[in-house]
Amino acid sequence: MLQSLKQFYGDELGALDGGIGRVKDFYLDDRQWMVRYFVLDTGSWLPGRLVLIPPHAVEGICHASNCLFVKLTRQQVEDSPAISTHKPVSRQYEEKYFQYYQWPSYWEGGGMWAATGLGVAPRALFIPREQRDRPFVADESDDPHLRSAKALAGYQIQTDEGAIGHVTDFIIDDQCWAIRHLVVETGHWFWGKEIVISPKDIDRISWEEAKVFVNVTKETIMDAKEYKKPRMIYHETRESDEQKVTEANNEHRSITIAKEEI
């Protein structure tokens, strides 16, 4: 079934023995165009920690309770690798950039940045020109094809004739978590129609320029049929959500036990 990726943001994740947090982001593979990881915000359970969950761990989706179920225990999630072991391209480049200028990074605090994440950057140290002109060298652990879905949302779509719009969402197949389409809003930021393009139409993605370069013409995109949004499932009150999630978790555990007995 085709789903809007944006629709899953904030959904609860239920393990075999209880809730484990909410979906904060997705990491995508821009070569195979697959969802590589869910980025899970564990909330008060593991304060200040983000966890990566592979999509093949998802056992079921309950749209009525805005909940996804994973075939993992809470202990398995707690023992999972730190999110810092897998960083999307945007964070890989940001880290190299700040290391290059020997600036403290805004995500590590230190009082150098405003609450908006912008603020006033610290003064750069003097670096010889030959070092400044040296290109960044990727670490062995870097993944040039790992992208944050939230970071990609807003990237401009660039044709040979110029920019044509920006990415707003991704349409995925929730059976295999493959990305079937990118949703693009044409025109300006506050008006225009939404259309979809295939990952096959993408030549490359530039983090530095925040652009997605496509191999189709501007006319083809403008003439594309308007994308009709699927019905969104909105979250109700937190109390209602928790009650639904508890009931869904109990059902999830019952089904799992039944499968094991069989």
The confidence score (pLDDT) of residue 145 equals 84
- Of residues 92 and 182, more confidently modeled: 182
The confidence score (pLDDT) of residue 256 equals 46
Over 90: is that where the pLDDT of 198 sits?
yes
Assess if CATH 2.30.30.240 describes domain 2-85+235-261: yes
Confidence band, pLDDT 50/70/90 cuts, at residue 65: confident
Q: Specify the range with the lowest mean pLDDT, choosing from 41-55, 81-95, 120-134.
A: 120-134
Q: For 182-211, what is the mean pLDDT?
A: 87
pLDDT in tens, 94-132: 666 556 555 554 444 433 333 333 344 444 434 444 444
Confidence band, pLDDT 50/70/90 cuts, at residue 207: confident
DSSP state letters, 187-225: SSTTS--EEEE-GGGEEEEETTTTEEEESS-HHHHHTSP
Look at residues 63, 72, 65 and name the one whose alpha carbon lies nearest to residue 38. 72
Confidence band, pLDDT 50/70/90 cuts, at residue 49: confident
SS3 of residue 133 by DSSP: coil
In this structure, what is the dihedral angle of CA atoms 128, 132, 138, 139, given to the nearest 10 degrees?
Answer: 30
Integer angstrom CA distances of residue 89 from 30, 33, 78, 143: 10, 15, 25, 7
Over 60: is that where the pLDDT of 66 sits?
yes
Confidence band, pLDDT 50/70/90 cuts, at residue 1: confident
CB 178 within 8 Å of CB 199: no
Over 70: is that where the pLDDT of 186 sits?
yes
Over 80: is that where the pLDDT of 86 sits?
no
Q: Which residues pair with 182 in a beta bridge?
A: 170, 197
Q: How far apart are the first and last CA of the chain?
A: 28
pLDDT in tens, 127-178: 444 444 545 454 555 677 888 999 999 999 999 999 999 999 999 998 899 9
Q: Give the pTM.
A: 0.70
Which residues of the chain are in CATH 2.30.30.240 domains?
Answer: 2-85+235-261
Neighbours of 245 (CB within 10 A): 22
Over 90: is that where the pLDDT of 17 sits?
yes
Over 50: is that where the pLDDT of 192 sits?
yes
How many helices (H) and strands (E) would you count in the chain? Answer: 6, 14
